[in-house]
Amino acid sequence: MKGLTTTEIFHFVWEAIKLSPLSEVIPTMYADHYPNQGGSGKPLPKEFIVVNSLSNAVGDMQVATLNVNIYVHDQTPTINRQEQRYPDRARLMELTLIAYDSLRGYPTDGRWFFDVSNETLISEDAIPYTLSNIKITFRKY
């Protein structure tokens, strides 16, 4: 069996997102990491996606894991004259459900498929965002 490279698998996921309803609601995507705010001078968008690859094991069955991270700007109300920060959980849930529908079982052919295997909410300390970290498992038989 000829395995696919990490770059080829990444391309499949990237294109699946670009052609999905997820891209319609969050058009900004970055590969591997979000840009350094200080370097570009441009503020980050309110919502964006970062796609990166974690592993790629080739054997009788190839299994690769990728992350699709959906960043949503935290809500920052002022309570007792102090700004508070907490995740916009309703928006994160809405976008995560769209991502699940967009990425689950992506058919590249009869022997390859993607599976949404895990999801975790993570708060970023350095920036005022919370992300929905969705693990996508690619399998090729």
Say if CB 64 and CB 9 are below 8 A apart.
yes
Instruction: Give pLDDT tens digits for 96-120.
Output: 999 998 887 655 566 777 888 788 9
pLDDT, one tens digit per residue, over 24-62 is: 999 999 998 887 755 566 788 999 999 999 888 887 788
pTM for the whole structure: 0.86
Any idea which of 4-18, 61-75, 97-111, 113-127 has the lowest mean pLDDT?
Answer: 97-111
**How would CATH label the architecture of 6-140?**
2-Layer Sandwich (3.30)
Q: In this structure, what token pair is assigned to residue 99?
A: 């991502």
> Which run of H or of E encompasses 23?
helix 21-25
